[in-house]
Every structure is written in C-alpha cells, then in structure tokens.
Amino acid sequence: MVEESDGNGRLTRISAFIFLHTEHAIYAALGLLLAVTAILALIDAAGLTWEALHALGGAQQLLEIVDRLLFLLMLVEILHTVRVSMRSGKLTCEPFLIVGLIASIRRVLVIALQSSEIMHAKEWSAEKEALFRASMVELPVLAGLILTMVVSIFLLHRARDDDRPAGEEEPGPETRGA
C-alpha cells in the first residue's frame, strides 16, 4: 500500500512538473508573439503619424492614429498580464478590465467619427439612418460598460490589502532589504 501511494505521489509530481513547464513554454511563446505584434503595431502607428504630419492630417487620420495607439496599449497591457502571470503563477482580472476599458473607448471613438460623417453627409439614406440609430443605441450601452469597468477596477484596487494596483509585482528578495 505504501509503495502504491509513493508511486502515485511520484507520478503526480512528474505530471505537475511537465504541466507547469508546458504552461510556461506556452506563456513564453504567447508573450513573444504579442511582443512582435506590438512592435509591428508601433511601426504602423509611427508610419500613420508621419503621414498625418506631412498631410496635416484631418480628423479621420487623427482618429485612425489614436485607434492604433489604443490598440497598441491593449497589446502592451495583455503582454504585461502574461509576464506577471508567468512570474507569480497568478492571473489577476484587473488587466483584463483595463483592456476591456480601452477597447470600449476605442469603439466610442469610432462611433463618434462615423456619426459625425453621417451627420455631415449631403444625402441621408435609409441605410445611413439605420446605422445612425444603431450607433445611438450602442453609445449608452458602451457608456454603461465603461462605467461598470471603471467601478470594478476601483473596487478591486480598494480591496487589496497592500494598496498596490493589481498585477503589480511584489518586490523581490534582493530589493526588500534595500
């Protein structure tokens, strides 16, 4: 009986070791892909900014630049979450709320631009009217979602014992005594 439980304990340790290292390898690959994607998004945003500077960009170009930068911010926040999860072994929900908040703000900006273009259009079609009405329904829903996420982030921050934002790493042993 003792030999059987020792064998099961050894098998459990080996499988836990394999699963942990597999998880870390997947996190590392995901982090690498996110980093490459973020670098490409940064290069794209820089190119758009350069073009807008040369053309003295209008509202459409500026909104596209802000949209790309907010997308880049979302990628960096997700990359931070992956890094913290790899180090601590814990997954916190605040970074995902922040990504959702940024995505919602991006959508509000896009709706604002689309609505502005529809309102300044010379001809008013049934399709444009339907798009405008749908946008006017979507905006309050997004506002409620944004408010909910902000309150959730605030409550998560207040609920922490050490008064640090969720996702922030604890100081390592080398910096504690300094």
What string of DSSP letters covers 123-157? Answer: S--HHHHHHHHHHHHHHHHHHHHHHHHHHHHHHHH
3-state secondary structure of 94: helix
Phi and psi at residue 124, in whole multiples of 5°?
A: -115, 105
> Rounded to 10 degrees, what is the CA torsion of 102, 108, 111, 113?
-90
Which parts of the chain register pLDDT below 50? 1-2, 173-178
Task: Give me the helix-helix angle, 59-88 and 2-55, nearest 10°.
Answer: 160
pLDDT at 114: 79
* Neighbouring C-beta atoms of residue 28, cutoff 10 Å: 13
Residues near 159 by Cβ (< 8 Å), separated by ≥ 6?
Answer: none
- Using CA atoms, how far apart are residues 128 and 95, in angstroms rounded to an integer? 36
pLDDT at 108: 92
pLDDT at 177: 46
What is the amino acid identity at position 175? Answer: T
- Which of 105, 109, 106, 114 shows the shortest CA–CA distance to 133? 114
pTM (predicted TM-score)? 0.67
